[in-house]
Amino acid sequence: VMEFANSVGGIEKLTHTNYKDWKSCLKSYLQGQDLWDVVNGADTTSPTAAAESTEALRKWKIKAGKALFVLKATIQKDLLDHICDAKSPEEAWDTLSTLFSKKNGARLQMLENEIGPIVQVNLSMSNYFMKVKMICQDMAQLDEEAKISNAGQRRIIIRGLKQEYNGFMIAIQGWPTQPTLFELENLLTDQESLAQQMASLSVKENEEALFVGQGKKFKHNKSRKFPNRNSFKGPRLQLQNQSHLLQLW
């Protein structure tokens, strides 16, 4: 029993965000333990209680009990309430499937609304690509049919690029072989880096031009000749006249 419990403990518990992975792992585990047939296989219904099937019923109950234990032991406590009263492993499995089908539907709709109008805005090129790819990955995990191909992701990314990359993208569209999603990310990241370097160089040149201009203006002002102080005769003459009047008085 302890070995059985320890092996179950190695399975990552079901949370609100990992149902698809949990379902896949647990199904494989149950199949390996010969328990899947009582969960979602050909032996989900208990045998009749007739005298000749007493032993078969006992064996079925043992298998069903083990399977139900696995289901309850591999989910978080806040999710356990949904299956704590389940009478069979099939009922517990179907309850969780219905629960996450509704949750996944709402989550998928939210992601679809987010990916539709997505634009780069102030995101760096690498962060923009990462955001689009993460949303698409989440959508695929929720519903395999909602998976967006690399070509589809490429179209979404191109549509939301900043306008400054329009010319570059027009040039790429003329290539005989279009770049893959990975290659496109590298090309646009290099283009972004080049644009940043050019902008930095332009600012530096403007600063140098401003410094040179101020230096020339300073030299020009320094070379100007100001009048000799001896040329200011008006005030001195007035003082001389005032001194003469005092002597007369």
The per-residue pLDDT for range 2-55, each reduced to its tens digit, is 445 455 667 889 998 888 889 999 999 999 999 999 998 888 888 775 555 788
**Mean of pLDDT values over 237-246:** 44
Q: Tell me the residue type at 117.
A: P
Q: How far is CA 118 from CA 71, 86, 148, 173, 179, in A?
A: 39, 43, 15, 21, 21
Tell me how far apart the 2 most distant CA atoms of the chain are, in Å. 155
* C-alpha to C-alpha distance for 128 and 118, rounded to whole angstroms: 9
* C-alpha to C-alpha distance for 159 and 152, rounded to whole angstroms: 11
pLDDT score, position 2:
44
129 C-beta neighbours (distance < 10 Å), count: 21
Question: Beta-strand (E) ranges in the chain?
Answer: none
Pull the structure tokens for residue 3.
């070995």
Residue bearing the bigger pLDDT, 124 or 208: 124
Domain ranges of the chain: 2-104, 116-197
**Mean of pLDDT values over 213-234:** 53
**Mean of pLDDT values over 171-188:** 95
pLDDT score, position 17:
83
40 and 90 in contact (C-beta within 8 Å)?
A: yes
What is the overall mean pLDDT for the chain? Answer: 82
108 and 144 in contact (C-beta within 8 Å)?
A: no
> Distance from CA of residue 6 to its chain's centroid?
35
**34: CB partners within 8 A, 6+ apart:** 63
Pull the structure tokens for residue 204.
């530096």
Reported as a pLDDT band with limits 50, 70 and 90, residue 220 is low
**Mean of pLDDT values over 126-143:** 93
> Distance from CA of residue 230 to its chain's centroid?
78
Lowest mean pLDDT among 123-137, 170-184, 219-233: 219-233
Q: Give the tens place of pLDDT for each residue, 135-160.
A: 999 898 888 889 999 999 999 999 99
pLDDT score, position 86:
92
**Mean of pLDDT values over 193-206:** 78
Lowest mean pLDDT among 71-80, 99-108, 186-195: 99-108
Torsion sign (Cα): 31, 33, 35, 37: positive
Pull the structure tokens for residue 139.
């959508």
pTM: 0.58
